[in-house]
Structure 1
Amino acid sequence: VNGKKGEFPGLIPLIENYLSSMDVDADTHCTIQQYLKLIQRRASGELLTTAAWIRKFVTTHPDYKHDSVVSDSINYDLLKTAVDIQKGKIRCSELLGQSNISKTQESIPSAMKKIYPCV
C-alpha cells in the first residue's frame, strides 16, 4: 500500500498522482486525502485496524472472562461505542487518528458529474 523506496511506488502514491491529474473540487480532494492517510496509517501499523480495535475492546472489557465468549453486555457496549464513534459523540484516535471530520457534502461533486453524466 505504502510502497518501498527504490523498489515500487505503492498504491497510495499512484492514487495521489492520479488524483492530482483530475478535476476535483478542493473539499473532495481534502476528503480523499484524509481517507488515503487513514489507509496509510493502518497499513503501517500506526493505527489499529477495525478488527484489531474490536479484539482489543472485547478482551479489555470488564465483563470478558477470557473464555472466547462475547456476552450480551460486551456486545451491547461494543455496538454502542461503535455507533457513538460513528456519530462523533466520542473520539477514538487509536482507530481513526486525530482528524476524522469530512468537509465534503454527501452529494456527487460536479467534477464526477462531468466524468460520469449518468450518475
Structure 2
Amino acid sequence: MDTVQSYLKACPARTVLDTLANKWNLLVLSSLRRHDGPMRFNELRRLLEGITQKSLTQTLRVLERDGLVDRAVYPTVPPRVEYAVTDLGAQVGDMFSILGDWAQEHVDEILAAREAFDNRPTPGPVR
C-alpha cells in the first residue's frame, strides 16, 4: 500500500494510525512492553499517573480488540484479570519506547522552544 493512501479518509490504515496516536494507548503499550510479564489493572493504573479508571478500561478494550493486548481472566473469587502485550503489540511498543526515549532526550529543547515561542512579541497587523 502506498504510504500516501494512509492520508485518505477511507483508508483502513488510518484507523490504525488513529489508535496508535492516542496518548493512553501509547503509554499502556509501552508500560506493558517494558514490564516483565502480565500486569493487573490496578498495577497499570498506579503506574500511569493521571489515567482514570474509565480511560484505562476503554484503552485496554481498544488494544485488546486490535490484537495488541491479551486479557486473561482467572476463575478466582474475586476474578483475577491480567493484561499482557501480544507479539504485535510488542512491535508497536518497541516503536513507542523509541519515541519515549527520544522525548526524554529532547524534552529540554522542546520546552525551551515552547518558552521562546510563548514569550516572543505579538506581531502587529500586516500592512
Regarding TM over 0.5, the answer is no
TM-score normalised by length of structure 1: 0.29
Higher relative contact order (CA 8 A, sep 6+): 1
- Normalized per residue, the structure richer in helix is 2
TM-score by length of 2: 0.27
- More strand by proportion, 1 or 2? 2
